[in-house]
């Protein structure tokens, strides 16, 4: 196997770990409290939740496998393959909630997988450099900083789906920045702990990872998952690809008619990702609503004799 093949395998394993972590952390975000809380307060509550830590382990495994993949492949390829987390999340969530995956969901899943295969094989992204210049990073900071700050502040003024989208943009962009910086961290760590601790990328890398986790958790609670999940999933590869080209000098090795095939593949990836993410988000929302719905008994059942748990189950069934 070539380095590119190994990078693809590692990126797919990272996507699987991401799917496991996202499903568990999404359920934690919906169930942990009924109160309106801020981003940091929600994160503090989450770290005290055992279920959230199970999801966090998936996220950590995702970051580690991503780092290994980025050491061998390009940011564009690795972040694009992260979209396959949606494909893995389908059976995982179905298994956890006893929900049947619909034919519509599988259709979009197959289209997404096929389009990703076309983009990765036809585009054949070159890895580029591992570290960007200080001047380039300053330009990135001047562009991304105010944009993400506007999204965070905007989420305080707008509520519902708008807030969910804005926070999801911050989460996806932060994780894209984390992926780009991972290449630099992997290279620097080869020089020892001293070199790592003196590298400015290392501290921004940690901050980007934390921001991604915090704002992703907040986006899950801010509004409908049909708004937050597609946005964060699409934002990561798009922002990651732009940063890969602008900061690391990555390129796509395709010419002539192959460019049209590549563009068509990218369009199908975006459309299928949004459709699949919205479908999964609707399923998650319905499942969460059903799980938190209070037990309502028929008046005829509300007697002192209803003490047997089996009778309670039957009563629930009559009111469903």
* Cβ-contact 239, 173 below 8 angstroms: yes
Output the CA–CA distances (angstroms, integers) from residue 141 to 126, 135, 204, 211, 298, in the order listed: 24, 10, 11, 15, 60
Provide the pLDDT for residue 190: 81
Nearest C-alpha neighbor of 240 from the set 290, 177, 154: 177
Distance CA 43, CA 210 (A): 10
| Backbone φ, ψ for residue 190 (5° rounding) | -65, -20
Task: Give the residue-averaged pLDDT of 94-114.
Answer: 76
Residues 126-165: pLDDT tens digits? 777 888 888 999 999 999 999 999 999 998 888 777 888 8
Nearest C-alpha neighbor of 284 from the set 19, 23, 28: 23
Q: Flag whether pLDDT at 196 surpasses 80.
A: yes
Provide the pLDDT for residue 140: 92
Burial 48-62 (b: 16+ CB within 10 A, else e): ebeebebbbebbebb
Could you tell me which residue, 35 or 95, shows the higher pLDDT?
95
H or E stretch including 167? helix 161-189
Residues 165-180: pLDDT tens digits? 888 899 999 999 998 9
Could you tell me which residue, 143 or 232, shows the higher pLDDT?
143
Could you tell me which residue, 250 or 228, shows the higher pLDDT?
250
Q: At 252, is the secondary structure helix, strand, or coil?
A: strand
Q: What percent of the chain has pLDDT over 90?
A: 11
Confidence of residue 250 (pLDDT cuts 50, 70, 90): confident
For the chain, the average pLDDT equals 77
* Cβ-contact 184, 130 below 8 angstroms: yes
Provide the pLDDT for residue 264: 85
Task: Give the residue-averaged pLDDT of 44-72.
Answer: 81
Provide the pLDDT for residue 147: 93
Residues 268-304: pLDDT tens digits? 888 877 777 666 666 655 655 554 444 344 444 444 4
For every residue of 58-111, DSSP letters joined together read HHHHHHHHHHHHHTTS-HHHHHHHGGGHHHHHHHHHHHHHTPPPPHHHHHHHHH
* Cβ-contact 219, 230 below 8 angstroms: no
* Cβ-contact 122, 256 below 8 angstroms: no
* Cβ-contact 101, 93 below 8 angstroms: no
- Single pTM value for the model: 0.72
Provide the pLDDT for residue 308: 47
Residue 23, C-beta contacts closer than 8 angstroms, at least 6 positions apart: 55, 89, 92, 93, 96
Among 29-38, 103-112, 200-209, the least confident range: 29-38
């Amino acid at each position: 196997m070539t380095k590119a093949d190994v990078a693809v395998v590692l990126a797919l394993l990272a996507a699987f770990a991401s799917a496991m972590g996202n499903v568990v952390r999404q359920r934690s975000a919906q169930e942990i409290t009924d109160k309106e809380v801020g981003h940091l307060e929600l994160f503090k509550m989450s770290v005290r939740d055992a279920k959230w830590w199970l999801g966090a382990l998936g996220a950590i495994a995702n970051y580690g496998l991503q780092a290994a993949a980025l050491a061998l492949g390009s940011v564009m390829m690795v972040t694009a393959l992260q979209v396959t987390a949606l494909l893995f999340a389908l059976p995982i969530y179905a298994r956890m909630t006893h929900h049947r995956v619909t034919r519509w969901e599988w259709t979009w899943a197959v289209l997404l997988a096929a389009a990703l295969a076309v983009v990765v094989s036809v585009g054949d992204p070159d890895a580029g450099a591992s570290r960007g210049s200080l001047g380039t990073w300053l330009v990135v900071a001047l562009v991304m900083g105010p944009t993400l700050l506007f999204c965070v502040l905007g989420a305080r003024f707008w509520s519902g789906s708008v807030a969910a989208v804005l926070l999801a943009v911050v989460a996806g962009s932060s994780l894209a920045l984390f992926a780009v910086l991972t290449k630099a961290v992997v290279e620097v760590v080869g020089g020892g702990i001293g070199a790592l601790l003196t590298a400015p990328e290392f501290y921004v890398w940690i901050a980007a990872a934390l921001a991604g986790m915090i704002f992703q958790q907040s986006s899950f609670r801010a509004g409908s998952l049909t708004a937050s999940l597609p946005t964060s999933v699409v934002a990561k590869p798009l922002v990651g690809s732009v940063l890969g080209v602008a900061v690391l000098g990555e390129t796509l090795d395709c010419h002539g008619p192959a460019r049209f095939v590549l563009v068509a593949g990218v369009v199908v990836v975006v459309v299928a990702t949004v459709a699949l993410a919205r479908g999964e988000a609707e399923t998650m929302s319905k499942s969460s609503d059903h799980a938190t719905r209070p037990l309502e008994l028929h008046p005829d059942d509300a007697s002192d004799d209803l003490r047997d748990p089996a009778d309670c189950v039957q009563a629930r069934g009559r009111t469903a």
